[in-house]
Amino acid sequence: MDVIELMEKGKIKRVFRARRKLNYPRLIYHITQRAAGNEPLFLEQDDYLSMLVLMKEICRTHNINMHAFCLMPNHIHFLLSLSESNLSESMRNLFSRYAQRFNKKYERKGHLFAGPFRQSVCLDDAYILAASLYIHLNPVKAGLASSPTRYRWSSARLYCSDSAGDSFVDPTLILGLIGEGGHERGSTQKKRYKDLIRRGAELELGNIMEQDEAIDKLTMKLHNMFGLALDHVFKKNRVPAGAGLELLPMVELEAQIEQLKKAGVMSKPQSMKARRYLIEQLVARGFKREEIAEKLGVSRKTVYNILRKQL
């Protein structure tokens, strides 16, 4: 089974989630934050504008590179990267200051946000591209706009229009992924991204609140729809050296798994080190333990025992 078949069956994970927040520069982070309970985060236009002002300020003072965003009525999406190791500090600053303004304005007390922000680390270019599309498609899937570019409180227009104007959001990195080998520039990239958004809006992604599942589906659909036009994107890994995440490209990892399985030694004592290595790689990609057991053709107990020995 090749990597494309695995993508089509939803077996490839392109996101890394850690128990503790990661703060490595150059990694691409998908940040989500939501309101406590069913409370709204924004009640009127000025609330959205207030958040945008704070976002711009935090990006400047904390050297945050904002690649994409969407402000939904009860939750928020950012796709960003760091110049310094200050993600937790910058997000805490942003959300606490907005909450203080909101509570004061509406004379309310208590928590505005549901808790700490959620962080996912994008491991390769295919996931980054799919995450940006997912973020921009949120208003459409929620019935708030007929197209992403008609929703005012996102960065979609920057990706699709040459007349979008200046912004603290920089779409260059993601637009640079589009085209044959990523060499197309300017308006051509935006036209291709607009086509991706248009076709993405037609896809059934399930519950948009089930973020990771929806992005995985979108990633698979991208390859099915555009094939070789985006093939270069699916072969790149975004994990920098020294980040503590020394991950193999997924194609190589799949090849190693198949090699051990074909040799019939996956469950043999002599393959213990190899099994441990493969399990570590799969855990880092967000696979659940039962999924790892199924993928490697070993028992769940074997996976649990190997992971326990690491602790």
Say which residue the tokens 């942003």 belong to. 94
Structure tokens at 309: 């020995």
Q: Determine the Cα–Cα distance for residues 75 and 77; give it in Å rounded to an integer.
A: 7
Residue 113 in this model has a pLDDT that exceeds 50: yes
DSSP H helices in 149-245: 156-160, 172-175, 186-201, 211-226
pLDDT tens string 69-87:
999 999 999 999 999 989 9
Q: Assign 232 a pLDDT band (cuts: 50, 70, 90).
A: very low
pLDDT tens string 187-217:
788 998 998 888 877 766 444 434 455 555 5
pLDDT at 199: 80
Helix axes 272-284, 289-296, angle to 10 degrees: 130
Structure tokens at 75: 């939750």
* Weakest-pLDDT range from 8-12, 93-97, 236-240, 254-258: 8-12
DSSP letter for each residue of 260-293: HHHHT-TTSGGGHHHHHHHHHHHHHTT--HHHHH
Nearest to 122 by CA among 244, 264, 286, 251: 286
Q: Determine the Cα–Cα distance for residues 275 and 175; give it in Å rounded to an integer.
A: 38
Residue 86 backbone dihedrals phi, psi, to 5 degrees: -140, 30
Supply the pTM of this predicted model.
0.67
Q: Determine the Cα–Cα distance for residues 122 and 237; give it in Å rounded to an integer.
A: 9
Do 128 and 175 contact (CB within 8 A), yes or no?
no
Q: Which tops the pLDDT comparison, 220 or 171?
A: 171
CATH fit for domain 3-235, picks 3.30.413.10, 3.30.70.1290, 3.40.1280.10, 3.30.565.10: 3.30.70.1290
Q: Which tops the pLDDT comparison, 295 or 216?
A: 295
Percent of the chain clearing pLDDT 70 (strictly above) = 71
Do 94 and 55 contact (CB within 8 A), yes or no?
yes
pLDDT at 128: 86
Residue 57 in this model has a pLDDT that exceeds 50: yes
Q: Is 182 left (phi over 0), alpha (psi -120 to 50) or beta?
A: left
Q: Assign 106 a pLDDT band (cuts: 50, 70, 90).
A: very high
pLDDT at 227: 46
Q: Assign 254 a pLDDT band (cuts: 50, 70, 90).
A: confident
Nearest to 128 by CA among 79, 83, 82: 79
- Most confident of the following: 28-42, 166-180, 233-247, 292-306: 28-42
Do 148 and 77 contact (CB within 8 A), yes or no?
no
Q: Determine the Cα–Cα distance for residues 86 and 83; give it in Å rounded to an integer.
A: 8
Domain ranges of the chain: 3-235, 250-310
When pLDDT is averaged across residues 252-276 and rounded to a whole number, the result is 77
Q: Assign 281 a pLDDT band (cuts: 50, 70, 90).
A: confident
Residue 218 in this model has a pLDDT that exceeds 70: no
Q: Determine the Cα–Cα distance for residues 311 and 158; give it in Å rounded to an integer.
A: 46
CA atoms within a 13 Å half-sphere pointing along the CA-CB vector of 279: 26
Structure tokens at 109: 């007390």
Nearest to 134 by CA among 235, 213, 192, 229: 213
pLDDT at 207: 43
> How much of the chain is in helix, strand and coil states, percent to nearest 5?
50, 10, 35
Q: Assign 16 a pLDDT band (cuts: 50, 70, 90).
A: low
